[in-house]
Amino acid sequence: MLKKTLLATAAVALVATSAHAQDVFRVGILGGENEADRLRNNQCLIDLLPEAIGVKEVQLFPAADYDGVVQGLLGGTLDYAELGASAYAKVYLEDPEAVDPVLTTQQVDGATGYYSIMLARKDSGIESIEDARGKRLGFADPDSTSGFLVPSVALPAQLGMPVDEYFSETGFGGGHENGVLEMLKGNFDVQVTWSSGVGEFADGYTSGNIRKMVDKGLLDMDEVNEVWRSPLIPNGPIVVSNQLDQDVRARFIEFFKAMPENHPDCFRSVQGGDFAGFIDVDHSFYETIVAARKSKIGS
């Protein structure tokens, strides 16, 4: 697994460094769902961004996992990515000057956060976190906020014991989508993933991995239970490299802030669900997550 991660990271870096920053705008896309879907969902950026921000070409780099994008940002081979708060914390703790968080999404109810939600198959009989004791828990990715960091911190505080003692087994499902699929196959009894937690459960809520999987026909909400929900997590940041040309940076931020109104289909495709729009953020918005990651993981 480590070898595959290193190879994926190296591939992102090698391809991206062949482009000149002033001519090519390089987009990092986190792992979490299959590559074809990620490329298709972000195709509109290739179509719209060059004229909007004044570059010749936009290139997409879908990393195999979260760390591929993290290393691309740290190495200066990516210009923009949308990260989870924990992945941003990893970048910041390794190099505080590598990127700036500039925007985040706002839910349709005005909230600027989302939830880690634990799902179980309905036919498992698991209806609550109490029912999940002694069962197998699936995480998403070591650098995921909702898929690892927050559950690993919030669950022990609620349960009064370490996660490894409460559950019979824990493991990583290879991203949010794959993790839920592994739970549906019976390889995990419960799985944590991310969701707005707003709207109707039957629809997979308004946005997040659960909604994406419902929209793609991969998940039927009649077949699962929500057994646990975390405290509200700060929505992840849109970050830009500090090596990015300042004029391109300003145009990019302007384009993204106007995207919900000017290009609603692209906005929904890139974000994977329904949001009210973007709001401005800076590092201070993520200080609690940075502190939690430093305490729990170290970097």
| Residue 30 CA to its chain's centroid (Å) | 7
- pLDDT average, residue stretch 238-260: 97
pLDDT at 244: 95
Rounded to an integer, what distance in angstroms lies between the CA atom of residue 10 and that of residue 28?
13
Report which of 112, 152, 68, 80 is spatially closest to residue 278, judged by C-alpha positions.
112
Where do the H-state alpha helices sit in 122-200?
Answer: 150-159, 163-166, 176-185
CATH topology of domain 113-233: D-Maltodextrin-Binding Protein; domain 2 (3.40.190)
Please give the share of the chain, as a percent, with pLDDT higher than 70.
92
pLDDT at 298: 63
What is the reported pTM?
0.84
Q: Which residue ranges does the chain devote to CATH 3.40.190.10? A: 24-107+235-297, 113-233
pLDDT of residue 102 exceeding 90, the answer is yes
**25: part of which helix (H) or strand (E)?**
strand 24-29
Of the options 3.40.190.10, 3.40.50.970, 2.30.30.110, 3.30.70.1280, the CATH number for the domain spanning 24-107+235-297: 3.40.190.10
pLDDT at 297: 74
Residues 6+ apart with CB under 8 A from 24: 55, 56, 57, 58, 59
The chain-wide mean pLDDT, for the chain, equals: 92
pLDDT in tens, 141-184: 999 999 999 999 999 999 999 999 999 999 999 999 999 999 99
pLDDT in tens, 33-73: 788 999 999 999 999 999 999 999 999 999 989 999 999 99
Please give the share of the chain, as a percent, with pLDDT higher than 90.
88
At residue 52, what is the residue type?
A
Give just the sign of the alpha carbon dihedral 57, 216, 114, 9: negative
- Residue 23: how many other CB atoms lie within 10 Å: 10
**The token pair that represents 144 in the structure block:** 């995921």
pLDDT of residue 124 exceeding 60, the answer is yes
pLDDT in tens, 199-233: 999 999 999 999 999 999 999 999 999 999 999 99
